Amino acid sequence: MLTLKQITDNTDDVIRRLAKKHFDGKKLIEQVIEINSKRKNTQSVLDANLAELNNISKTIGALMKDGKKDEAEAARAKVADMKEGNKQLEADMKEAEEMLITILCTIPNLPHESVPEGKHAEDNVVEKTGGKMPDLGADALPHWELAKKYDLIDFELGVKITGAGFPVYKGKGARLQRALINFFLDNAREAGYLEIQPPYVVNTASGYGTGQLPDKEGQMYHANLDDLYLIPTAEVPVTNIYRDVILDKKELPIKNTAYSACFRREAGSYGKDVRGLNRLHQFDKVEIVRIDTPEHSYESLTEMVDYVQTLVEKLELPWHILRLCGGDMSFTSAITFDFEVFSAAQKRWLEVSSVSNFESYQANRLKCRYRNEDKKTELCHTLNGSALALPRIVAALLENNQTPEGIRIPKALIPYTGFDIID
């Protein structure tokens, strides 16, 4: 969520920037300012009352010792009176604080100045393109048919065991998954990321910390009995490592990477877009997460984007990077670059990575801070990105590398798969 300081110091600027996300924040911002000033006034009165109360309480002890019972009784009565009045003030404070958080949670992050205007995915700007488009014949098969032909992935079996969107990988299909995970983790480690193996279920506090709760509750699987959520991405447990933490500036930037299975309910989307591996309820992903200072976070963002580029290049996939427009960006992001790879038989671009800087928006909720040179605590910036999500990479690898002899494995991956062709 945005900080009160951001809102009170640069009110007009905040409203203007929210408009880029097609969010009309004028009323809410005004409301925040009003409630906040009320909160301050209430606190001033309440603090003064409490100070007096504390003083009187101290004198009661002394009076009792001196045997001045009457005076002590009088003071006691007065205190009882004041406490009644404070109850209302305390309730007001609590209400104001809760209201502020509730409203702040409904206001999205401010887009960075460099975010392009636009409403939909079509308005995203192609930032960079690379790789070679494969030249497939007219009889090229989509990945779900290749998966069947070579017995790599069994979608129907997943339906039997669990339901749609939970595929079963078999043989070289399963080994390809394992190879990609290791390939991504090894690359991340070589790029300086610390490997983390986090829990796949998290509590509600963590859900709030990274902003899945309260609004996106329906997107996570929930274990009712224990009130725990299956993670939709490793970002959730890994970023929550730094919840309620004050870091030393020397530790920044923190660079973590984690593989996890990801679970997404994604209710209500069916059809061609979700065919095969295009959209799943359970999938594998290696995530990179950074915690950084505000001064350095955009440099970190560039490094992360460049790093992801090396991955798609090593996999020899045709790729491009999109700078997302204001309307297509996520609620919590200040700037997002999407990586898409071209899936040649489907003839469509598939999103395989999303690299974002959340600036202090997420850190504010997490209370993730660092101590600056003046020993003052300041909110960190948080960033994360997929590096990479497996299913669509697999889809593109299968489709783009199909030959009459079989499916060729890119050179960089062969040491991990242990085979160079799927036939």
Partner RNA sequence: GGUGAGAUGGGUGAGUGGCUGAAACCAACAGUUUGCUAAACUGUCGUACGGGUAACUGUACCGGGGGUUCGAAUCCCCCUUUCACCGCCA
Shortest approach of RNA to residue 369 CB, angstroms? 6
**Cβ closer to RNA: 91 or 174?**
91
**Cβ closer to RNA: 60 or 180?**
60
Shortest approach of RNA to residue 57 CB, angstroms? 4
Interface residue with RNA, options 10, 24, 44, 129 (CB under 7 A): 44
**Cβ closer to RNA: 189 or 249?**
249
Phi, psi for 295 (deg, rounded to 5)? -65, -30
Interface residue with RNA, options 10, 30, 51, 81 (CB under 7 A): 51
Shortest approach of RNA to residue 326 CB, angstroms? 28
Q: Give how far the C-alpha of residue 97 lies from the chain's centroid of Cα atoms, to the nearest Å.
A: 24
Question: Does 213 interact with RNA (rule: CB under 7 A)?
Answer: no
Burial grade of 27 (CB within 10 A; 0-12, 13-18, 19 or more): exposed
Which parts of 75-94 interact with RNA (CB under 7 A)?
Answer: 76, 79-80, 83
Query: Cα(24)–Cα(41) distance, rounded to whole angstroms?
Result: 28
Shortest approach of RNA to residue 236 CB, angstroms? 18
Question: Does 61 interact with RNA (rule: CB under 7 A)?
Answer: yes
Beta bridge partners of 322: 126, 338
The answer to whether the CB of 321 falls within 8 A of the CB of 337 is yes
Question: Does 43 interact with RNA (rule: CB under 7 A)?
Answer: yes
The answer to whether the CB of 258 falls within 8 A of the CB of 235 is no
Q: How many CB atoms lie within 10 A of CB 7?
A: 22
**Cβ closer to RNA: 80 or 267?**
80
Shortest approach of RNA to residue 78 CB, angstroms? 9
Record the tokens describing residue 14, joined without a space: 């905040």
Query: Cα(337)–Cα(325) distance, rounded to whole angstroms?
Result: 10
**Cβ closer to RNA: 11 or 330?**
11
Which parts of 346-375 interact with RNA (CB under 7 A)?
Answer: 369, 371, 375
- Which stretch, 42-50, 275-283, 332-340, 394-402, contacts RNA (CB under 7 A)? 42-50
How many residues belong to the site for RNA (CB under 7 A)? Answer: 28
Interface residue with RNA, options 58, 128, 189, 411 (CB under 7 A): 58
Burial grade of 376 (CB within 10 A; 0-12, 13-18, 19 or more): exposed
SS3 of 263-293: the string is ECCCCCCCCHHHCCCCCCCEEEEEEEEEEEC
Question: Does 130 interact with RNA (rule: CB under 7 A)?
Answer: no
Torsion angle of alpha carbons 293, 296, 298, 304, nearest 10°?
A: -90
Interface residue with RNA, options 9, 13, 57, 162 (CB under 7 A): 57
**Cβ closer to RNA: 84 or 113?**
84
**Among 232, 249, 353, 237, which residue's Cα sits nearest to residue 294?**
249
Task: Write out the residues near RNA by the rule CB under 7 A.
Answer: 4, 36, 40, 43-44, 46-48, 50-51, 53-58, 60-61, 64, 76, 79-80, 83, 246, 369, 371, 375, 377
